[in-house]
Structure 1
Amino acid sequence: MSDAEARARRIVTDAPTDLIVDRLAAELLRTYGITRTELFQVDYRLAELLPLGGGESVTGPGHPAWYAFDHQEPMVADGTGWFPVGMRGERRGVLRVSPAPADPAARAELATIAAVLGHELAAVTSTTDVYLTARRSRRLTLAAEMQWELLPGRSRIRPSFALAGQLEPAYAVRGDSFDWSDDGHRLWLAVLNGFGEGVAAALLTSLATFALRNARRAGLSLADQAALADQAIYAQHRGRQHLAVLLMEVDLATGALTAVDAGSPHLIRLRAGAVTQQVLDKQFPLGMFDGTDYREQRFQLARGDRLFVVSDGVVDAAAGRIRYGESALDRFLRHTGPLEPLDAVRSLIGDLRAFVAGDLVDDAVVVCLDWLGPQPENGPDQ
């Protein structure tokens, strides 16, 4: 690591939370002669790159900023450099610098500094509203604010898997959600198809998510996690409200997948270009009845498998009286193979928006999981 890179790292980690980019800009001016440094964050819809200090957003898909964001590679065009800002697969945006240094070593250092910035933004986001406020092009509804705060992130990459998810309508989502966690040996994934409207739906999803997390962190099996969350919801609502969820657990050493379908969203597998609806044992949604017992199913993933989990809001999206439907969904998913999970998710959401000619009316959640195959236990985390 060069002295310049080390100083920039210290500046980023030591700066006041609201002045991280300003202090970094001053350091890049001193060290690299960069006169303009600007952070662009991707918005909640994955449709705009919004400048932290306000101003014109970047929306055009052919823009160098989007190339850097989409490919997670630095891009230099017309003397301006765009460097991906993210953390462990979670894409936050891009860092704009101009004039971009001509020296390849300096550009490599800037790429590392942008990655450090991504980690630091993740560390401070819970302590300041500066970066969250700048990520939105319009006001979030209260229910949507609750739902986005509940998420573990929007994408995740490890040597054995890649994962991404998105909620729609992004600025007004109510009850659909997802949750995930991994410990290097197992990956847990929950996709929730919410019930109800507004804040009531967000509260129900929050209760289910925290109940599932509590059970998972207690080391309970997948079936027992569903049972505990079921009891928590029933105790609160006595069957008047319920919630559909698909729970999955993947053994990262073998690719063995365990699932519990509690009235769940759709599970679709893309293998070698073929799309298959995964048949699941339909069981009662969480909170519908008192003391429901849940059963687990087991499947074996093959290296290169891609799984999509989509809620009813995807297949039921309608343009007038025409429903998007399973056939259109299957046809579209077949063409997502070359895309990274986040790009596949964003592409599907974009197709839905085009189909309905605007934002979706009903909630929709899309999650994409790529099984890359067993990897060495101490492989690098990204």
Structure 2
Amino acid sequence: MSERLTAVRRALADAPADRVVECLAEALAKEYGVDDLDVLLVDYRLSALIPLRSGPSVTRPGDPAWRCFDHQTEVGAGHVTYLPVTARGERVGVLRFIPRPSSAVERAELAEIATLLGHELQAAAAGTDRYTVAARAQRLTLAAEMQWELLPGRSRVGSGFSLAGQLEPAYAIRGDGFDWAEHDGRLSVTVLNGMGDGMTAALLTALAVHALRNARRAGLGLADQAALADQAVFAQHRGASHVEALLLELDLETGEVQVVDAGSPRMLVLRAGEVVEQPLEAQFPLGMFETSDYETQTFRLRPGDRLLIVSDGVSEALGHAGRYGDSALHRFVRRTGGQAPLQAVRSLLGDLRAFVSADLEDDAVAVCLDWTAPAS
């Protein structure tokens, strides 16, 4: 590791939580001659890259900053350089500075620094609101604040898989949400839709998420996780409210998927360019009855398969031309097959917003999972 890269790493590690970018700018100016540095943070809707320090948001598709974000690679435009700021697959935004790196070694070191910045911004977010606030193009509702705080992130890349999720309406989401966790060669994914509106739905989904996490972290299987969450929701609401949920666990080595469908969102499989509905045995939503028994189903993915899980707020969305519907959904899933999961969910929900010509009236969630199988 070069001395100047070591110096920048030390500056990032020692930076106060709310001055990470300023400390990075000072270190890069001294060690690499970098000037006019800023970080463009992606907003909650995935439709704007918002400069942290100054300047207008970048919203035009095809802009160099968006090309860098979408393709996760260095992009140059004149004297300006853009580098992706990403941590374990979570796309935080884009690092922008001048001038262009002068050598391959310098480019590699600056790309590594951009990745380090992603990790530092995630760590610093626990001690400051600066970056969270800066990524907002408008104010969140209280229910939306709760839902976004529940999420494990918005994208994740690991050995053999790539995963992303998105919520709409991003700034006013109510009862839809998702959760995921990777442990010991297995990936757990949950997609939820809490009954009701506003804070009622947000509180209901929060209860279900925490109950499911509690059961998962205790080492319980999927059916028992669902049963524990079912009891927790019923104990609080006595059947007056419920949560639709899909619980999924993927064996990252073999592609075997275990599923519990508790009145869940829909699951589509994109395989070799064709979209098929994955049949699931519908079981009772969480909290509907005092005691519900849940059973686990099993199916197997093939390397290269894509799973897309969507709530009914997607296919049932109403526009001037009627309902968005299954045909449009299947067509769009095929069309985004070559995109990374985060691009796919961003494109899908952006297409949905264009279809309804406004913010969605009903919540919509989309989660996209690609299984590539681990390298031999």
TM-score (ref. length: structure 1)? 0.97
C-alpha distance in structure 2 between counterparts of 1:268 and 1:347, whole Å? 16
Q: Deviations over 1:150-204 (max 9, x none)?
A: 0000001012111000000000000000000011411100000221111111100
CA contact (8 A) 2:316 2:323 kept: yes
What is the match of residue 358 of structure 1?
A: 358
| TM superposition shift of 1:336 | 1.4
What is the match of residue 95 of structure 1?
A: 95
What is the match of residue 229 of structure 2?
A: 229
C-alpha distance in structure 2 between counterparts of 1:332 and 1:101, whole Å? 39
What is the match of residue 77 of structure 1?
A: 77
One-letter amino acid of the counterpart of residue 283, structure 2? Q
Matched pairs, number: 376
Residue 372 of structure 2 is aligned to residue 372 of structure 1: yes
Q: Deviations over 1:212-235 (max 9, x none)?
A: 000001111100000000000000
| TM superposition shift of 1:375 | 3.8
What is the match of residue 149 of structure 2?
A: 149
Q: Deviations over 1:77-129 (max 9, x none)?
A: 11000011010000000011112232222121111101000001111112110
What is the match of residue 180 of structure 2?
A: 180
CA contact (8 A) 2:244 2:264 kept: yes
One-letter amino acid of the counterpart of residue 37, structure 1? L
What is the match of residue 276 of structure 1?
A: 276
Q: Deviations over 1:305-328 (max 9, x none)?
A: 100000010001111360001111
One-letter amino acid of the counterpart of residue 151, structure 1? L
What is the match of residue 197 of structure 1?
A: 197
What is the match of residue 44 of structure 2?
A: 44
What is the match of residue 247 of structure 1?
A: 247
TM-score (ref. length: structure 2)? 0.98
What is the match of residue 379 of structure 1?
A: none
SS at match of 1:179: strand
Task: Percent identity, please.
Answer: 59
SS at match of 1:126: coil
| TM superposition shift of 1:358 | 2.5
SS at match of 1:258: strand
Q: Deviations over 1:250-269 (max 9, x none)?
A: 11121110000000000101
CA contact (8 A) 1:251 1:257 kept: yes
C-alpha distance in structure 2 between counterparts of 1:302 and 1:107, whole Å? 37
C-alpha distance in structure 2 between counterparts of 1:152 and 1:265, whole Å? 19
Alignment of 1:116-155 (within 5 A): 116-155=116-155
What is the match of residue 165 of structure 1?
A: 165
Q: Deviations over 1:243-292 (max 9, x none)?
A: 10000011112111000000000010110111101111111100000110
| TM superposition shift of 1:24 | 0.9
SS at match of 2:214: helix
SS at match of 1:91: strand
CA contact (8 A) 1:166 1:365 kept: yes
C-alpha distance in structure 1 between counterparts of 2:141 and 2:54, whole Å? 21
CA contact (8 A) 2:18 2:124 kept: no
User: RMSD of aligned C-alpha atoms?
Assistant: 1.0
CA contact (8 A) 1:186 1:250 kept: yes
One-letter amino acid of the counterpart of residue 246, structure 2? L
Alignment of 1:326-341 (within 5 A): 326-341=326-341
What is the match of residue 111 of structure 1?
A: 111
C-alpha distance in structure 2 between counterparts of 1:138 and 1:185, whole Å? 39
One-letter amino acid of the counterpart of residue 78, structure 1? G
C-alpha distance in structure 1 between counterparts of 2:90 and 2:266, whole Å? 24
Q: Which runs of 5+ in 2 are unaligned?
A: none
Q: Deviations over 1:319-361 (max 9, x none)?
A: 1360001111011111111111111111111110111112212
C-alpha distance in structure 1 between counterparts of 2:89 and 2:152, whole Å? 12
What is the match of residue 211 of structure 1?
A: 211
C-alpha distance in structure 2 between counterparts of 1:346 and 1:264, whole Å? 21
C-alpha distance in structure 1 between counterparts of 2:144 and 2:151, whole Å? 11
Q: Which runs of 5+ in 1 are unaligned?
A: 377-382
One-letter amino acid of the counterpart of residue 280, structure 1? L
C-alpha distance in structure 2 between counterparts of 1:81 and 1:165, whole Å? 28
CA contact (8 A) 1:244 1:263 kept: yes
Residue 297 of structure 2 is aligned to residue 324 of structure 1: no
CA contact (8 A) 1:255 1:374 kept: no
